[in-house]
Structure 1
Amino acid sequence: MTAPPLRLEQQRSLFLVASGVSTAGSFAGITAKGWILMHGSAEPLVLALNFAALSLPTLAISGPAGVLTDRIGCERVLVRSQWALLAAAALGALAIPLLDGTAQVLLLLGSTLLVGIAGAYEQTARNKYCSLLVNHPGELGSYLASFSVVFNVGKLVGPPIGGLLVAATGPAWALGIDATSYLLPIASVMFLLRPRRDQEQRSAPGERASLSNAWQDCGSTLRGVLSLTALLCLVNFFHPGLAPLIAERVLGPSPQDLGLFTSVLAAGSIAGGVVLQRNSDRFCRRPFLTLGGFGLVTSIAQLGMARSPGVAFSLAMAFLIGAGTAGLLSSCNLISQIGSPQVMRGRMAGLSQIAFLGGGGLSGLLAAALVMVTDLPTTFAISGGIGAALALLWIQRRSDQRLEPLRSA
């Protein structure tokens, strides 16, 4: 006797939990791999390359991933990318017992690069897949926003899990456990979830299915959403690569100080995601007020960091930076999904990632250059001042503009 199929709301909860487990595993693996590379090479450049290998492929691959998702279907891309994530993570685990020295470092970096590529496809396909797990369009916004909360919870609990695994089981087992965390979402999608496949709309082959066509056809409001997100990310996106420097200046040089600082940032990100999740429908209807508001929160917090009168105040500003940044990125993704037709949601997910990863990546380089030329407080003051001016300008000019979500999920 077979068990009855899960209801859609149960399927949504299962997919969310499975994604959360794999997210925590990913951050645990990143932490473990960073520890291995640091003790294996002691070269800051290697750590920078590891972070770049994870993040830069998303910028380059998100567009093609969106086109493929709309062409062949989100479920097929999702399953393939999850298997690719498992294989890439397992490759990193095998590097520990099989190799040493430079060869081990190169294989670990290669594993990270493959995780970054597969992750771009997985994230793009997952956005569109979520629309097949809701009963009506009004549920989609809240459900998509829930992934922001899950992502940031994984970012909060994953690193200490990774550290504990390295200490308790050794680096090879830590990376192996990270790889196995992908089995839960794979099993869920393949055997337990029954999305409304008949509701999916796929694009036909040809020029009309291109990324540039999605940009042209999405409408002036969504183009404005993507443009504003890219601008705000370019000006005042908090770049993770600067976290050790900021933590040292604000708190101190010890690993515990860095852990406290990143935990406060993650807690702020969770809070920003919860606010968006609980107000998703209302926030989506006023896109520029929402994006400008989250951008303004981040800018004010950066101006506060420029003053930094004390540790408690600086940590409070770090919490607001986490909340504002998470709210901005999640809002862009949420609004672009809610406001676009089903047939182009894969490509819109790709465009959203390009907007905030492109802007955020350049922002980190600009911020690092400013710190080298001036100092950290001045960098915060410049970034926060320009960001606040941009956010206020867009709020003043377009805060009344509304976006009506499409009736079809």
Structure 2
Amino acid sequence: MSFLSTVFARALASRNYRLYFAGQLVSLAGTWMQQIAMIWLAYRLSNSAAVLGMVGFASQIPILLFGPFAGVLTDRFDRRRILIVTQFLSMLQAVALTWLTFAGRASPEWLIGLAFVLGSINALDLPARQAFSAQLVERREDLANAIALNSMLMNGARFVGPALAGFAVATIGEAWCFAINATSYLAVIVALLAIDAKANVPHDTPAWRAFREGVGYVWSHADIRPRLFMVAAVSFLVTPYAVLMPLFASEIFGGDARTYGLLIGSAGAGSLLAGLYLASRKHTERLPRRVGVAVLVSGAGLTAFALNQLLAVAFPIVMVMGFAIITVIAGSNTLIQMQVEDVYRGRVMAIFSMAFLGIAPLGSFAVGHLAHAIGVQPALFACGLGTLAVGWAARNIGMKAVRREGPL
């Protein structure tokens, strides 16, 4: 009970955060089901690594293109209202995807186009969501716990959603996964309408000047800037493995949609454990070093996964990778949010989203085409070696931060 109290009691003591958490709990499971079903449908229709890379590219490149200006909007307008609009638009996108699939009109071109639409919505939704979380806790010392719970919630859904989607795709088809996701958005919309958090104070700085101020703030901050570079490197080199997972499930391991769902679910289980670990921490003094070590672990895991031929061995490898990746991403998010000034929070979170999700499509595009040219396993092996090199640099960043923030 003491461990559960440490994980859940602090942020969930705030009414507004409890409402937000409950709405996200329902919605995110549906979101992961849609993502898995969409990638599998793209693979089934095309049987192409390049198409898988294009779907991943289209879903996340808008975050890189529109992220900085989305951060300006997040600091300029009421974040709760922004989230209500983005959730409603995401629901409409899921409805369109459901109709196309039921009608037999889904095609790789439609999937790429709708992935781009959802990515454009997420470009605004993600920084607004992360900045809004800081308004929902009543005590600032609970902010780190709230950020870790957000990560745990997302990755708990990542653990359950893919496994459910794998079996649902194999038994009732992709369209029902899309329909379930469309319905799940109602939960978070209702929760947002019930929240009565104090609105953020909007600024009236001209948009272009506000954008330059946000970039300048990040660039001049000695701790935030290197953490963002590290997150970007992991997103480019490591996260594309998930886009190529259908090829491993089918061609390397001889499985089907169930195998794919279980592999992604295993990564989600590791991610969930990482979220629990981060949420249980009361202090952040040792976190910089842990994040640096996690980069090395993710690189070693990716290298091992690329060389592996056995399905039974793949499950623990991707679980370790899931733990390491979320330790890097969520740990970096926690450290950045604890340091950023509130007036810049939306813009900094937008740049963080660019580093995490905006850079990932470039990796998906590059690694997908590299896998098409030389094979999926050699491509991921090269990415693993690159990540190990980044890990040595990240470890040095972590050690310097520890010396500034206190002893281990």
Give TM class, smaller chain. 0.7 to 0.9
Q: Does residue 330 in structure 1 map to residue 335 in structure 2?
A: no
Structure 1 residues 49-92: Cα deviation after superposition (integer angstroms, max 9, x where no partner): 44433222222232221110101121121121112112222233
- Local SS of the residue matching 1:182: helix
TM-score relative to the length of structure 1? 0.82
CA distance in 2, matches of 1:346, 1:208: 15
Residue 195 of structure 1 aligns with which residue?
A: 197
Distance 1:111 1:137, change over 3 A: same
Greater shift in the superposed pair: 216-225 or 111-120:
111-120
Within the candidate set 143, 147, 171, 1:144 is matched to 147
Partner amino acid, structure 1, of 2:160: V
Residue in structure 2 matched with residue 211 of structure 1 by the alignment: 211
Name the CA shift for 1:316/1:338 in 2 (closer, same or farther; >3 Å). same
Alignment deviations for residues 253-277 of structure 1 (CA, whole Å, 9 cap, x no partner): 4434323322221211212222222
Map of 1:407 onto structure 2: none
Q: Please, which runs of 5 or more residues in structure 2 have no aligned partner?
A: 1-11
With over 3 angstroms needed to count, the CA separation of the structure-2 counterparts of 1:63 and 1:290, relative to structure 1, is farther
State the partner residue of 1:176: 179
1:117 and 2:120 equivalent?
yes
Equivalent residue for 2:254? 252
Counterpart for residue 227 of structure 2? 225
Equivalent position of 2:7 in the other structure: none
**Aligned partner (choices 9, 22, 29) of residue 27 of structure 2:** 22
Q: Deviations over 1:263-316 (max 9, x none)?
A: 22121121222222222732xx45642431220110122233355385544432
Q: Give the residue type in structure 1 aligned to 2:26.
A: V
Given that 1:265 and 1:319 are in contact with CA atoms closer than 8 Å, whether structure 2 keeps it comes out as yes
Aligned pair in 2 of structure 1 residues 11, 247: CA closer, same or farther (>3 Å)?
Answer: same
The Cα of 1:43 is off from its aligned counterpart by 6.0
User: Would you say 1:156 and 2:159 are equivalent positions?
Assistant: yes
State how far apart, in whole Å, the 2-side matches of 1:383 and 1:91 are. Answer: 35
Please say if residues 170 and 258 of structure 2, whose CA atoms lie closer than 8 Å, have aligned partners that are also in contact.
Answer: no
Equivalent residue of 2:26, what SS?
A: helix
Quick check: 1:63 aligned with 2:68?
A: yes
> Radius of gyration: which is bigger?
1
Q: Structure 1 residues 34, 356: CA separation in 2 closer, same or farther (over 3 Å shift)?
A: closer
Asked whether the equivalents of residues 167 and 258 of structure 2 are also in contact (C-alpha less than 8 Å), the reply is no
In structure 2, the partner of 1:135 is: 138
Tell me how far apart the structure 2 counterparts of residues 201 and 78 of structure 1 sit (CA, whole Å): 16
1:185 Cα offset (Å): 1.0
TM-score normalised to structure 2 length: 0.82
Deviation at 1:177, TM superposition (A): 3.2
User: Structure 2 matches for 1:274-293, cutoff 5 A?
Assistant: 274-279=276-281, 281-282=283-284, 285=285, 288-293=288-293
Against the structure 1 CA distance between its residues 290 and 209, is the aligned structure 2 distance closer, same or farther, given a 3 Å change threshold? farther
1:66 and 1:124 in contact (8 A); partners too: yes
| Aligned partner letter, 2:96 | L
Q: Helix, strand or coil: the match of 2:15? A: helix
- Give the 3 Å change call, closer, same or farther, for CA 210–168 of structure 1 in structure 2: same
- Report sequence identity in percent: 23
RMSD value, Cα: 3.2
Which secondary structure does the structure 2 equivalent of 1:400 belong to? Answer: helix
Q: 1:306 to 1:54 in 2, by over 3 A?
A: closer
Gaps of 5+ in 1: 1-6, 405-409
How many pairs align?
Answer: 390
